[in-house]
């Protein structure tokens, strides 16, 4: 792309979509005009900076800006005022000239920003007006705090708003004072602590020193042992005389690299003591020292001598502790990492003590793929679970190195819905009763390693389960002919309360398969078969054409009715079928075709209706742009609509003034409509009842 | 520049009087909201009336809608905020809690012109009360037939101590502090009286502006009013054209007299008042011409229905030299009258919008070059002779009711419905900043540019 090469890449580092370029018109007026003619909630910082720098240039610029801002503040649009006010605030804090100019017209300016006069309320939109008012009051308080001494007008304004207009100030200044009071209180506490430290510092130091000494002693013992061991190892080599130079170097290298003193039965006690002391040192003493250092750093004392000396001592002690710790680490005493021998509880503590936040390894995706991968190692033939998401980070690169066999297996593996069974897929280990030692809510606890559930029991408990999902069944209408004409539209599962069991009927409501009512249902194997097939939920034949159905079933294009029947009833004794039955079946099939036509028509109508509704809904959503996200719009449709909107128009300042139909309005309207509708329905049903009663006096129940 | 004048004065090119006048007018022209002097009002309602005492020019008296009146010391601040903001709290307060306090709005509060031992309050509860400043007790009260809108005492009176009161009733009543009774009842207005003003050149002459739009001149030694100002009778310029004939010399003489009374002030209340006022009367009657001289104006019905404003006359103010009268009306006009001729001078004061339902208190500078008038929530300063807007003072958050110009300190005080009394003082930014630097305390952000980026 030769064109893109010449241009710098689109800015990715900053969220500054500002259209401002320094090369553009940089007069204050133009900048302010641009800054205040957007619908953005605040002034673009880059633009604001530009305004500041151009206003800084000269007094004339400040005056220009002031004049323009004042006229903008008088605009009957709260959002413009809000943006203008934020610029005013910015300039007021910076320019003395601007301050004096604004102070002289503050009595005219404030009603425009705060709207405290009943005849000069803030203009719409209401949201911006509320923001403006809040911002103005806050700014005024800040101004008053900073510059009130120099400007009588500011003092007057605040006094008037407080006492006459009864406007509540947020009291930021009070907050500052409260903070100062809090500070003083902390100082008091700190001072008390330091006083306390005066008496206890010696004991603290002594304690720490003793711990350090303990550790050093332990280290000495271990070192001595280590040297002994090393000598012993050398002896070994000499004795055996098999020391190939390579073997020996490898061994010493491994020993030296870790400087690892093997922990054995003999020196376990020493190690335990060492570990104990180390933990005490690191977890308790180190943090104590750090606390005291922070206290000493923060405290403000009249006499700083004690503080300084104590601070120095503590820092010394801290360095000593550090030295001991690094010594331990150098020796390769794996005191931090004792999980090999000790239980998980200690592990936790050690981790925490070290104060080293382990970089969490990328969370293992507990997905089906992992399970599958692990199971692959031991059981190749086992049916695997297809994860279905091969594009996961670790799944992706794994799939590259997958052997073709595995790929094949994955492709044909069945899809299993997720359940907790998959957690333990393929594992035959015992499970802990309490995996994390959680006994209290949100507290880590000790984990009991002995309390386990045997694998057999787990296998027994692990039963794959899935939630039953009902498949939608179309309930057919009764379609029995009514006396007043038309067909019964009741939809019951099996029996219509008025017309008995629901049976297939033709377009006029006559039951199919009961000509003259001579032959009864139930005894007819053919009809049974058909009924079964229909009830079996083969809805294709209601939607799809009859021909296709038959081609599917019959497997041959030149299917006659006979063959189809034969196919269907292959397991029924053919000898039972008489010519009459065949004829009846033929009639039935013809009628069924009629029915199918009707059903298709209905489906078509339903589709049209559905389409219409969709279109209407889209139109409704498009008219309220902000609600688009609230509705579950398909993203594709949204995108298309967004493009179209972007092309036609985007929100402007004037559009902000237009009254939006809020949820409240809609509900109110609907309630009104609802009332009206209810009334009409009641009336209509009343009259209907009356006519019905008159028409069918004996049928009224 | 300012320094230029000092140098000229040093060289003797500028005489002391002229130098002083220049300094005063310069200061008056640079009025701005004072950051270093503020008055903390105890009032819980609109401030309706403000006056600084005439003897010391130090104590500010205010009357407010919550029925209270308060006195502030303008020289000594009660406390200082941040080291340089002087806060003046009231040193005296008479409110509803007081045994004899007013029940309703105090519409006017005025000092006794001779000393600060007494002050007078007029209220909508139909009472005019006289208070002893030192004991904060009521000395006497006068029951009026209606809401009292206005009260005035002559600043130059030596022979009487009368309080002129205007109320919702059509009559102006004069209350005598000496006897505690009404001495006069001046009838003539057809509606309530919103504003009253004593002449600053004659202690006998009282001017009243009513809701009927008329401004009437009364000589309290005679029955009836002797002049009703007519807005349609006008002259161009500050003085009427000189008439020919025998009155010429006389007129010239009078003019000379009255212009010499320019220097009249409260402190210099000695002198030949009687003669002065007689001369004034004479000149007034003469200018109107020979035909009307015989008719008593109060009796003539054709004269009686002249109006100075369309609508009510809400404020009256004479200039310190007593030659001109300023009146404001509910027709949102400010008019400048030549008292001598009784003519509208046709000065077109630029567009303004005035409160219509309340008495307004106007103010003028000593050399009547500037007139201050409350225009809704701002105060406007107009050039008296040209009528052009000189300055607009913005700072109040509600309608302004009154303003008072303290000529001694060249300060303007304004009272408003937002319960504030604001001080507008001459501002010389360089000087104040220097002083601020001296007095600045730690803990406040400096008022400087702060362009961090």
Which string of DSSP letters, residue by residue, matches B297-332? Answer: TTT-HHHHT--SSSS-EEEEEE-TTSSEEEEEETTS
Which one has a higher pLDDT value, B321 or A528?
Answer: B321
- The predicted pLDDT at position A349 comes to 43
Q: What's residue A366's pLDDT?
A: 40
Taking every pair of C-alpha atoms in chain B, what is the biggest distance, in angstroms? 82
Percent of all residues in chain B with a pLDDT value above 70, rounded to a whole number: 81
> Mean pLDDT lowest for which of A95-104, A222-231, B270-279?
B270-279
Between chains, do A152 and B448 touch, taking CB under 8 Å as contact? no
The answer on pLDDT for A553 being more than 70 is no
End-to-end Cα distance, chain A = 84
Please give the interface size between A and B, counted as residue pairs whose CB atoms are below 8 Å apart: 62
B34: chain A residues, CB-CB within 8 Å = 152
**Nearest chain A Cα to B393, which residue?**
A104
Partner residue opposite A94 with nearest CB, options B38, B85, B449: B449
A162 touches chain B (CB under 8 A): no
Mark yes or no for CB contact B33/A153 under 8 Å.
yes
CB pairs under 8 A, 24+ apart, for B70-76? B70/B41, B70/B42, B70/B43, B70/B94, B71/B119, B71/B133, B72/B39, B72/B421, B74/B406, B74/B409, B74/B411
Residues of chain B neighbouring A151 (CB-CB closer than 8 A): 35, 447
Of B49, B24, B43, B5, the residue nearest B359 (C-alpha): B49
Lowest mean pLDDT among A128-137, A467-476, B104-113, B265-274: B265-274
pLDDT band, residue B389 (cuts 50/70/90): very high
B160, B121, B153: which is closest to B140 by C-alpha? B121
Contacts of A109 in chain B (CB under 8 A): none
Cα A496 to Cα A248, A500, B64, B126, B134: the distances in Å are 95, 5, 90, 94, 107
Q: At CB < 8 A and 24+ separation, what contacts does A396-403 make?
A: A398/A369, A398/A373
Task: Give the span between the Cα atoms of B364 and B354, in whole angstroms.
Answer: 17
Residues paired with residue B49 on neighbouring β-strands, in sequence order = B63
Token output for A427: 């594992």
Q: Predicted confidence band at B329 (pLDDT cuts at 50, 70, 90)?
A: very high
Could you give the domains of chain B?
33-233+303-427 (2.130.10.10)
B81 contact residues in A (CB cutoff 8 A): 149
- Chain B closest-CA separation from residue A280 CA (Å): 49
Cβ of B422 within 8 Å of Cβ of A155? The answer is no
Place of tokens 């010394």: A316
Q: Which residues contact B360 (CB under 8 A, 6 or more apart)?
A: B195, B314, B315, B328, B354, B373, B374, B401, B402
Q: What is the pLDDT of residues B393-437, one digit of tens each?
A: 988 988 999 999 998 888 999 999 989 999 999 887 666 666 555
Assess contact for A296 and A314: CB atoms under 8 A: yes
Suggest the residue from A118, A149, A176 to mutate for an interface test with chain B (most B CBs closer than 10 A). Answer: A149
Does A125 sit behind a cis peptide bond, omega within 30 degrees of 0 on the bond before it? yes
Pick B85's closest partner by Cβ from A96, A149, A160: A149
Q: Which residue of A has its CA nearest to B441?
A: A149
CB A190 within 8 A of CB A182: no
- Contact across the interface for A163 and B419, Cβ inside 8 Å: yes
- In tens, the pLDDT along B70-94 reads 999 999 888 888 778 889 999 999 9
Q: Calculate how close chain B gets to A116, using CA atoms only, in Å.
A: 11
Q: How far is B49 from chain A (nearest CA, A)?
A: 20
Taking an 8 Å cut-off on Cβ atoms, the answer to whether B451 and A99 are in contact is no
Distance CA B224, CA B216 (A): 10
Cβ distance of B445 and A146 shorter than 8 Å: yes
Structure tokens at A255: 């020993």
Q: Please report how many Cα atoms fall inside a 13 Å half-sphere around the Cα of residue A451, on the Cβ side.
A: 8
Tell me the CA distances in angstroms from A195 to A285, A295, B349, one per residue in order.
20, 11, 78
Long-range contacts of A597-605 (CB under 8 A, 24+ apart): A598/A507, A599/A542, A599/A543, A600/A542, A600/A543, A603/A542, A603/A543
Cβ contact A96–B447 (<8 Å): yes
Taking CA atoms, what residue in B is nearest to A165?
B418
Q: Where are the alpha helices (DSSP H) in B69-171?
A: none
The per-residue pLDDT for range A177-232, each reduced to its tens digit, is 888 888 888 888 888 888 888 888 888 888 888 888 888 888 787 777 766 666 65
- The residue among B306 and A377 whose pLDDT is bigger is B306
Q: Residue A347 — φ and ψ, nearest 5°?
A: -55, -45
Of B358, B380, B363, nearest in space to B314 by CA: B358
A673 has a chain B CB within 8 A of its CB: no
Using the Cβ of A45 and the Cβ atoms of chain B, whether some distance falls under 8 Å is answered with no
Q: End-to-end CA distance of chain B, in Å?
A: 38
Looking at the predicted structure, is the pLDDT value of residue A630 above 60? no
> Is the minimum CB–CB distance between A528 and chain B shorter than 8 Å?
no
| A80-84, A115-119, A258-262, range with the lowest pLDDT | A258-262
Cβ-based burial of B139 (10 A; exposed 0-12, middle 13-18, buried ≥19): middle
Supply A131's token pair. 């923001």
For residues B24 and A526, the model is more confident at B24
Contact call for A164 and B445, based on CB within 8 A:
no
Written as six digits, the tokens of B106 are: 């105090």
Query: Which residues in A lie closer than 8 A to residue B33 (C-beta atoms)?
Result: 152-153
pLDDT value, residue A639: 46
User: Phi-psi bin for A194: left (phi > 0), alpha (psi -120 to 50), beta?
Assistant: alpha
Question: Mean of the per-residue pLDDT values for chain B?
Answer: 82
Who contacts B317 (Cβ-Cβ below 8 Å, separation ≥6)?
A: B197, B325, B326, B327, B361, B362, B363, B364, B371
Alpha carbon of B101: minimum distance to chain A alpha carbons (Å): 24
Q: β-pairing, B181-186 with B172-176?
A: antiparallel
Closest Cβ opposite residue B377 in set A107, A153, A155? A107
> Looking at the complex, does the CB of residue A318 fall below 8 Å from at least one CB of chain B?
no
The contacts of residue A598 (CB under 8 Å, 6+ apart) are A507
**Window from A213-222, B133-142, B260-269, B365-374 with minimum mean pLDDT:** B260-269
Shortest Cα distance from A196 to chain B (angstroms)? Answer: 35
Residue B137 is inside which H or E element, if any? strand B137-143
pLDDT score at B254: 45
Least confident of A78-87, A185-194, B72-81, B259-268: B259-268
B contact test, residue of A55, A152, A164 with most B CBs within 10 A: A152
**Beta bridge partners of residue B205, listed in sequence order:** B219
Is the CB of A153 inside 8 Å of chain B's CB atoms? yes
Closest in B396, B398, B453 to A49, CB measured: B453
Q: What distance in Å separates residue A286's CA from the closest CA in chain B? A: 42
Chain B CB contacts of A107 under 8 Å are 377-378, 394-397
Contact A160 B397 (CB under 8 A): yes
Which residues of chain B does A105 touch, with a Cβ-Cβ cutoff of 8 Å? 394
Nearest to A152 among B35, B377, B397 (CB): B35
* Whole-angstrom distance, CA of residue A356 vs CA of residue A358: 6
Interval B168-185: pLDDT, tens: 989 999 999 999 899 989
Main-chain phi, psi angles of A258, to 5 degrees:
-90, -15
pLDDT tens digit sequence for A289-345 = 888 888 888 887 777 788 888 888 888 888 888 888 887 777 666 555 444 444 444
pLDDT band for A638, please (50, 70, 90 cuts).
very low
* Nearest chain B CA: its distance from A142 CA (Å): 12
């Amino acid at each position: 792309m030769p064109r893109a090469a010449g241009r710098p890449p689109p800015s990715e580092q900053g969220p500054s979509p500002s259209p401002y370029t320094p090369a553009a018109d940089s007069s204050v007026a133009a900048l302010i005009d641009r800054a205040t003619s957007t619908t953005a909630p605040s002034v673009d910082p880059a633009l604001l900076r530009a305004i500041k720098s151009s206003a800084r240039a000269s007094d004339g610029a400040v005056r220009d800006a002031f004049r323009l801002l004042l006229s903008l503040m008088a605009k009957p649009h709260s959002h413009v005022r809000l943006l203008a006010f934020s610029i005013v605030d910015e300039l007021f804090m910076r320019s003395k000239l601007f301050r004096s100019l604004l102070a002289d017209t503050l009595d005219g300016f404030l009603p425009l920003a705060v709207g405290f006069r009943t005849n000069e309320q803030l203009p719409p939109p209401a949201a911006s007006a509320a923001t403006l008012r809040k911002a103005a009051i806050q700014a005024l308080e800040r101004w008053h705090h900073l510059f009130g001494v120099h400007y009588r007008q500011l003092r007057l304004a605040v006094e008037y708003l407080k006492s006459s207009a009864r406007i509540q100030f947020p009291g930021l200044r009070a907050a500052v004072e409260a903070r100062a009071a809090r500070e003083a209180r902390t100082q008091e506490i700190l001072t008390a602590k330091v006083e306390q430290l005066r008496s206890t510092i010696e004991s603290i130091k002594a304690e720490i020193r003793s711990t350090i000494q303990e550790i050093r002693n332990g280290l000495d013992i271990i070192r001595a042992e280590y040297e002994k061991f090393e000598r012993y190892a050398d002896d070994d080599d000499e004795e055996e005389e098999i020391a190939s130079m390579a073997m020996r170097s490898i061994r010493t290298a491994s020993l030296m690299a870790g400087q690892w003193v093997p922990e054995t039965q003999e020196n376990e006690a020493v190690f335990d003591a060492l570990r104990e002391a180390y933990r005490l040192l690191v977890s308790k003493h180190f943090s104590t020292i750090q606390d005291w250092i922070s206290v000493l750093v923060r405290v403000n004392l009249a006499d700083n001598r004690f503080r300084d000396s104590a601070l120095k001592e503590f820092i010394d002690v801290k360095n000593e502790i550090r030295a001991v710790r690094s010594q331990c680490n150098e020796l390769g005493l794996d005191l931090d990492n004792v999980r090999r021998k000790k239980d998980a509880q200690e592990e936790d503590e050690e981790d925490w003590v070290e104060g080293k936040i382990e970089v969490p390894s990328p969370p293992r995706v507990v997905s089906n793929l992992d399970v599958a991968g692990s199971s692959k190692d031991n059981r190749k033939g086992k049916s695997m679970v297809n994860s279905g998401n091969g594009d996961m980070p670790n799944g992706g690169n794994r799939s590259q190195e997958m052997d073709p066999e595995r790929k094949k297996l994955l492709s044909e593996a069945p899809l299993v819905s997720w359940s907790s069974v998959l957690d333990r897929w393929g594992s035959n280990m015992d499970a802990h009763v309490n995996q994390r030692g959680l006994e209290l809510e949100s507290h880590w606890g000790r984990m009991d390693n002995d309390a386990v559930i045997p694998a057999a029991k787990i296998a027994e408990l692990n039963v794959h389960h899935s939630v039953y999902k009902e498949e939608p069944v179309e309930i057919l209408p009764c379609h029995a002919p009514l006396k007043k004409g038309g067909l019964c539209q009741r939809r019951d599962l099996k029996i219509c309360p008025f017309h008995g069991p629901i049976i297939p009927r033709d377009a006029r409501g006559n039951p199919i398969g009961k000509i003259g009512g001579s032959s009864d249902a139930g005894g007819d194997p053919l009809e049974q078969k058909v009924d079964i097939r229909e009830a079996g939920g083969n809805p294709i034949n209601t939607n799809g054409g009859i021909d296709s159905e038959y081609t599917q079933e019959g497997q041959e294009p030149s299917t006659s009715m006979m063959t189809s029947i034969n196919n269907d009833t292959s397991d029924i004794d053919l000898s039972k079928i008489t010519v009459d039955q065949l004829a009846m079946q033929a009639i039935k099939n013809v009628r069924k075709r009629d029915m199918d036509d009707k059903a298709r028509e209905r489906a078509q109508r339903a589709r049209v209706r559905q389409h219409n509704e969709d279109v209407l809904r889209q139109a409704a959503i498009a008219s309220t742009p902000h609600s688009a996200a609230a509705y579950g719009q398909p993203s594709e449709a949204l995108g298309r609509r967004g493009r179209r909107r972007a092309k036609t128009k985007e929100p402007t300042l004037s559009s902000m003034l237009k009254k939006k139909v809020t949820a409240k309005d809609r509900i109110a309207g609907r309630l009104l409509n609802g009332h009206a509708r209810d009334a009409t329905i009641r009336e209509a049903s009343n009259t209907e009842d009356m006519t019905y009663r008159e028409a069918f006096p004996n049928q009224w129940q | 520049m300012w320094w230029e004048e000092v140098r000229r004065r040093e060289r003797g090119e500028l005489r002391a009087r002229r130098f002083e006048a220049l300094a005063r007018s310069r200061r008056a022209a640079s009025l701005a909201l004072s950051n270093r002097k503020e008055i903390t009002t105890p009032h819980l309602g609109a401030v309706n009336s403000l006056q600084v005492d005439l003897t010391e020019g130090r104590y500010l008296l205010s009357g407010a809608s919550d029925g209270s009146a308060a006195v502030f010391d303008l020289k000594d601040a009660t406390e200082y905020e941040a080291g340089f903001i002087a806060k003046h709290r009231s040193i005296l307060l008479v409110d509803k809690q007081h045994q004899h306090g007013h029940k309703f709005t105090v519409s006017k509060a005025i000092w006794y012109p001779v000393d600060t031992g007494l002050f007078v309050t007029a209220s909508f509860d139909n009472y005019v009360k006289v208070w002893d400043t030192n004991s904060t007790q009521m000395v006497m009260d006068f029951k009026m037939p209606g809401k009292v809108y206005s009260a005035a005492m002559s600043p130059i009176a030596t022979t009487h101590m009368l309080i002129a009161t205007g109320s919702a009733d059509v009559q102006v009543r004069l209350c005598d502090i000496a006897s505690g009774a009404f001495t006069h009842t001046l009838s003539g207005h057809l509606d309530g009286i919103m504003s009253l003003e004593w002449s600053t050149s004659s202690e006998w002459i009282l001017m009243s502006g009513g809701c009927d739009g008329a401004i009437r001149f009364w000589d309290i030694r005679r029955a009836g009013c002797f002049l009703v100002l007519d807005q349609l009778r006008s002259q161009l310029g500050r003085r009427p054209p000189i008439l020919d004939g025998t009155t010429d010399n006389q007129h010239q003489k009078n003019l000379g007299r009255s212009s010499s009374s320019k220097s009249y002030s409260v402190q210099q209340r000695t002198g030949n008042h009687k003669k002065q006022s007689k001369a004034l009367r004479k000149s007034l009657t003469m200018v109107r011409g020979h035909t009307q001289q015989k008719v008593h104006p109060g009796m003539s019905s054709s004269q009686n229905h002249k109006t100075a404003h369309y609508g009510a006359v809400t404020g009256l103010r004479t200039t310190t030299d007593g030659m001109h009268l300023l009146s404001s009306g509910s027709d949102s006009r400010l008019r400048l009258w030549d008292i001598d001729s009784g003519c509208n001078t046709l000065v077109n004061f630029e567009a303004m919008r005035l409160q219509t339902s309340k008495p307004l208190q106007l103010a003028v500078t000593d050399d009547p070059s500037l007139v201050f008038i409350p225009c809704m929530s701002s105060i406007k300063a107009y050039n008296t002779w040209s009528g052009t807007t000189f300055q607009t003072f913005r700072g109040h958050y509600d309608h302004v009711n009154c303003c008072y110009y303290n000529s001694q300190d060249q300060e303007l005080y304004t009272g408003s419905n937002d319960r504030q009394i604001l001080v507008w003082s001459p501002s010389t930014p360089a000087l104040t900043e220097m002083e601020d630097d001296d007095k600045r305390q730690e803990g406040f952000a400096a008022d400087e540019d702060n362009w961090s980026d």
